[in-house]
């Protein structure tokens, strides 16, 4: 089997993606004062780091979820257990970060005059966030990063429902055609600039998640590599039809890294350093916490010491990164890790062997 049970390069790539998003958001906090000191190319690069990180996350999600579904006994019971397991895994850190974000917003209204009007949340808005429906129901985001979680949840549910439906119809090979068709529709939407009638739908972003799914299936020899090449070529056509940059190239590069790390020995430990693996472990908590803790740290320091020099701006960014990582570590240890352990106690029905695949030879 070409793919390792634990792909350390994929784990490290998750940490890289999280740090790119962190740097993007923290840079925006001091952009006005720092921009005159930066070359235009570096400024432009910093502005697209967030998209680069998010796009890598989408590919990784497709890859990892597809691995977890291989060999599953797809049924209504499996869907229910899968949804429960994902909920236990994702909800506690998300809800904790959301509560902290709201609490700090309310606190800021009492401490900072410029923050007046913040921290006013309605019950329907909060309930919509708890259910990952805020975008679909057109409520303002409580935190800048929460929108991606709504998209991710749709990815997971669509994929597991799709695989279950194809299994029920006794046409499991049809799944790859549907995934690829959705990728084509997603790319067409991105290329045309078409706006979906409802905000927050997963379809415009599916081409990245779908590439991760196909990457996994190809590495496990569930489907022919022609599917991967077709999707990569389509993705590159989109990239060069728009504007090539690290963000638009990120899905293809992330998929390529996953392929190399599974098939080429030297690549299996590209991101295997202690720091990369640590950031990978806390990446979800880091993603959730940095807009609240890291951003607030920088804002407080700016209030206390002003924005008088480039050196101060760099110190503010360093402080924002440090507090983001510290708070993420605490969330991971106190909330996320117990949630992971609890989720693993929810059994998922699997076939006796994972060697055979319902998609084989497609």
Give me the residue spans of the domains in the chain: 8-99+148-343
- pLDDT tens sequence across 209-222: 999 999 999 999 99
Give the pLDDT confidence score for residue 246 in this predicted structure. 82
Least confident of 112-126, 253-267, 344-358: 344-358
Q: What angle do CA 329, 12, 71 make, to 5 degrees?
A: 105
pTM: 0.92
Are the CB atoms for 30 and 307 separated by under 8 Å? yes
DSSP reduced 3-state for 292: coil
pLDDT at 113 over 90: no
Are the CB atoms for 30 and 316 separated by under 8 Å? yes
Give the pLDDT confidence score for residue 355 in this predicted structure. 41
Overall average pLDDT of the 283-295 stretch: 97
- pLDDT tens sequence across 314-346: 999 999 999 999 999 999 999 999 999 999 998
Give the pLDDT confidence score for residue 6 in this predicted structure. 66
pLDDT at 357 over 50: no
Give the pLDDT confidence score for residue 307 in this predicted structure. 77
Across 253-290, b (16+ Cβ under 10 Å) vs e yields: ebbebbbebbeeeebbebbeeeebebbbbbbbbbbbbb
Give the pLDDT confidence score for residue 114 in this predicted structure. 57
- pLDDT tens sequence across 145-183: 999 999 999 999 999 999 999 988 988 889 999 999 999
Radius of gyration (Cα) for the chain, nearest Å? 21
Least confident of 38-42, 138-142, 266-270, 322-326: 266-270
pLDDT band, very low/low/confident/very high, at 269 (cuts 50, 70, 90): confident
Q: Which of 120, 118, 153 is nearest to 135 (CA)?
A: 153
Least confident of 11-25, 66-80, 121-135, 278-292: 66-80
User: Across the chain, what does the average pLDDT equal?
Assistant: 89
pLDDT at 74 over 80: yes
pLDDT band, very low/low/confident/very high, at 3 (cuts 50, 70, 90): very low
Indicate the Cα dihedral angle 239, 62, 167, 185, nearest 10°.
-20
Q: Would you give the DSSP letter of residue 348?
A: -
Overall average pLDDT of the 261-277 stretch: 88
Give the pLDDT confidence score for residue 117 in this predicted structure. 53
């Amino acid at each position: 089997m070409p793919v390792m049970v634990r792909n350390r390069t994929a784990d490290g790539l998750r940490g890289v993606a999280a740090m790119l998003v962190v740097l993007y958001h923290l840079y925006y906090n001091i952009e006005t004062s720092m921009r005159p000191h930066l070359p235009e190319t570096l400024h432009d690069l910093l502005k697209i780091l967030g998209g680069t990180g998010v796009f890598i996350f989408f590919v990784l999600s497709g890859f990892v979820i597809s691995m977890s579904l291989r060999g599953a006994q797809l049924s209504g019971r499996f869907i229910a257990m899968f949804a429960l397991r994902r909920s236990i895994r994702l909800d506690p850190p998300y809800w904790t970060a959301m509560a902290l974000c709201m609490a700090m917003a309310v606190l800021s209204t009492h401490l900072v005059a410029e923050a007046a009007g913040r921290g006013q949340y309605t019950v329907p808005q909060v309930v919509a966030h708890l259910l990952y429906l805020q975008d679909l129901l057109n409520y303002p985001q409580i935190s800048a990063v929460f929108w991606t979680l709504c998209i991710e949840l749709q990815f997971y549910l669509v994929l597991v429902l799709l695989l279950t439906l194809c299994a029920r119809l006794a046409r499991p090979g049809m799944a790859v055609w549907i995934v690829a068709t959705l990728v084509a529709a997603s790319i067409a939407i991105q290329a045309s600039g078409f706006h979906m009638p409802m905000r927050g739908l997963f379809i415009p972003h599916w081409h990245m998640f779908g590439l991760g799914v196909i990457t996994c299936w190809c590495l496990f020899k569930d489907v022919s590599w022609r599917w991967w090449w077709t999707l990569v070529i389509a993705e590159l056509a989109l990239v060069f039809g728009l504007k090539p940059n690290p963000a638009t190239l990120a899905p293809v590069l992330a998929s390529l890294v996953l392929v190399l790390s599974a098939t080429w020995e030297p690549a299996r430990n590209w991101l295997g350093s202690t720091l990369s693996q640590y950031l990978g472990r806390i990446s979800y908590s880091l993603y959730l916490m940095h807009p609240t803790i890291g951003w607030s740290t920088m804002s407080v320091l700016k209030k206390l010491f002003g924005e008088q020099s480039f050196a101060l701006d760099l110190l503010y960014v360093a402080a924002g990164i440090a507090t983001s990582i510290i708070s993420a570590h605490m969330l991971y240890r106190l909330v996320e890790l117990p949630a992971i352990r609890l989720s693993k106690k929810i059994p998922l029905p699997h076939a006796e062997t994972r060697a055979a695949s319902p998609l084989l030879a497609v």
